[in-house]
Every structure is written in structure tokens, then in C-alpha cells.
Amino acid sequence: MRRVLVLGGTSEARALAAALAVEPAVDVVSSLAGRVREPVLPVGEVRIGGFGGVDGLSNWLRSNDIDAVVDATHPFAARITANAAAAADRVGVPLLVLRRPEWVAGPGDRWHPVADLAAAAREVPALGHRVFLTIGRQGVDAFADAPGRYLVRAIDPPEVAMPADATLLLDRGPFTVESEIALLREHRIEVVVTKNSGGALTSAKLDAARELGLPVVMVARTPLPKRVPSTANPDDAVAWASGRA
């Protein structure tokens, strides 16, 4: 049996685990960071919680006889990706990163690309006072001292400082364009702030912003570690993890 660790927490990771679970020569275990209180669990064996950095993950890979690792975490989970690359290299276990494609601006989009959340917080005041902050709960503190009125949407409440004038909306996608337009109008939003996570689960906010002519501050992804192979094709990840590619 080929034992595969899937670093998950995304829809892509759940689909990958389901596909690998029916591979006759693959034993798959999924790992979730445990940052969401009620995560959607994949099929098969699941562990929840951190590994304890590079050392902890290296030891876990050895002690659990892992033959391959697929990092299918969120595109902005830069720390676990870096740790996975370092641990896999140390132990000599092959690693593949599965990442959904980035969103790409199209006709009618008013995107303002920025490098990180700190840059986003500096960009916002010139674009609008009423801000829809849809970056998840991590990193919200980058806007703690930023002027403006904020609608903050996340799955779980942030555990960091929030903007002084903020309304918290707890919700989980997928969302429709119609519901996103209604939300933006209800709160009289003037600018949207999001991360370029890609995927269809939460892309409706971008369609809604385009429809309403709103600017979008788009936070770029952190580049992957050097020399780490990656794919955006789930079928390629299944073939690789099962040893067929």
C-alpha cells in the first residue's frame, strides 16, 4: 500500500481524498489544521491539529510511514506549505502542491492588486469608507487601525483585533451573485477587500462587485517555495499521489 498524506481543509483536498480512497493501492490520511470549529470532513482517516513545525511534521512523516504528501491547503496557508516543503525534503518524501487557479480580472473589473494585507489596509481609505472585508478571520487585525466602516465576513469569529467600526457576519459559502449583490447594497458597501484564493465557492462577490461597479482590493498569493512541483489539475494530483504518474 502507498500511504499518502493530504494536507487539507479545502474542497480540492476533500475531492482528492475521496478519489484516493477508492484507489486499491492507496491508503490516504487527511490532516486539517483545526482552525475552523466545525470543519467539513473528508472521507477516510482524518487527523486534526498542527504538527509542531518542521520538526514535528518530519517526525510524523517518519513514524507514520508516509510515501507521498499532497499539500492541498488554502492558497494563503503559506506557513504549512513552507513547513511541508522543508519536512518533505528532510525526510526524503515526495511532495506535490495542489492549488486552484487564481482569479483573473476581466472586462468591467476594477481591481487594485496589492502584495499583502498591510498594503490592502493602506489602499482602502482612498477607495471608500464602507468596506466589505472578506479575507477570512485571519489577518483582520491588519485593518484594526484603518479608518472606515467595515462588514467583516468569516466562518468563525476572529480571535484578533477588529476595526473599531465593524459588523461581524458569520457565514460559509458557496454564495450566489444575487445574494452578494443584495448584501453589498444592504450595507451600502463602497469597496471590497479579498484574497486571491481562486475557486468558485466565493467568486460570486467578484461578480457582484463588477455588477455594482465597485473597486476590489485584491491581495496576491505568496509564491510557492522554490523547486516544489505544483498542479492545478485534480486528476493529475490523483495520478501522482497514487503512483501512476
Do residues 199 and 237 both lie within one domain? Answer: no
Q: How far apart are CA 131 and CA 191, in angstroms?
A: 5
Backbone angles phi, psi at 47, to 5 degrees: -120, 145
Strand order through the sheet with 26-32:
45-48, 26-32, 2-7, 68-71, 95-98, 230-231
pLDDT tens digits, 213-238: 999 999 999 999 988 999 999 999 99
Average pLDDT over residues 151-173: 94
Give the pLDDT confidence score for residue 91 in this predicted structure.
97
Tell me the HSE value of 217 on the side-chain side, using a 13 A CA sphere: 24
Give the pLDDT confidence score for residue 245 in this predicted structure.
61
30 domain-assigned: yes
Do residues 135 and 48 both lie within one domain? Answer: no
Q: Quick check: 35 pLDDT over 90?
A: no
Do residues 121 and 197 both lie within one domain? Answer: yes
Do residues 118 and 134 both lie within one domain? Answer: yes
Cis amide leading into 229 (omega within 30): no
| Average pLDDT over the chain, rounded to an integer | 94
Do residues 195 and 231 both lie within one domain? Answer: no
Residue 141, by phi and psi: left (phi above 0), alpha (psi -120 to 50) or beta? alpha
Give the pLDDT confidence score for residue 182 in this predicted structure.
98
pLDDT tens digits, 114-159: 999 999 999 999 999 999 999 998 899 999 999 999 999 999 999 9
105 domain-assigned: no
- Cell numbers at residue 179, please? 445574494
Say if residues 20 and 43 touch (Cβ distance below 8 Å). no
Do residues 88 and 162 both lie within one domain? Answer: no
Q: Quick check: 36 pLDDT over 80?
A: no
CATH classification at residue 164: 3.40.50
214 domain-assigned: yes
Do residues 174 and 231 both lie within one domain? Answer: no
33 domain-assigned: yes
Residue 75 sits at the vertex; the CA angle it makes with 70 and 76, to the nearest 5 degrees, is: 125
Tell me the HSE value of 94 on the side-chain side, using a 13 A CA sphere: 14
117 domain-assigned: yes
- Cell numbers at residue 129, please? 469608507
235 domain-assigned: yes
Do residues 116 and 52 both lie within one domain? Answer: no
Do residues 19 and 94 both lie within one domain? Answer: yes
Look at strands 166-170 and 68-71 and give their pairing.
unpaired
Average pLDDT over residues 180-209: 96
**Would you give the distance in Å from CA 151 to the centre of its chain?**
20
Average pLDDT over residues 176-201: 96
Do residues 115 and 213 both lie within one domain? Answer: yes
Q: How far apart are CA 65 and CA 69, in angstroms?
A: 11
199 domain-assigned: yes
CATH classification at residue 32: 3.40.50.720
Q: How far apart are CA 95 and CA 97, in angstroms?
A: 7
Do residues 115 and 148 both lie within one domain? Answer: yes
104 domain-assigned: no
Q: How many domains does the chain have?
A: 2
Give the pLDDT confidence score for residue 193 in this predicted structure.
98
> Domain range holding 90?
2-99+223-241
Q: How far apart are CA 24 and CA 19, in angstroms?
A: 11
| Count of residues making up the chain | 245
Do residues 123 and 185 both lie within one domain? Answer: yes
In the chain, where do the E strands start and end? 2-7, 26-32, 45-48, 68-71, 95-98, 110-114, 130-134, 149-154, 166-170, 191-195, 215-219, 230-231
Q: How far apart are CA 114 and CA 118, in angstroms?
A: 9
> pTM of the full predicted structure?
0.87
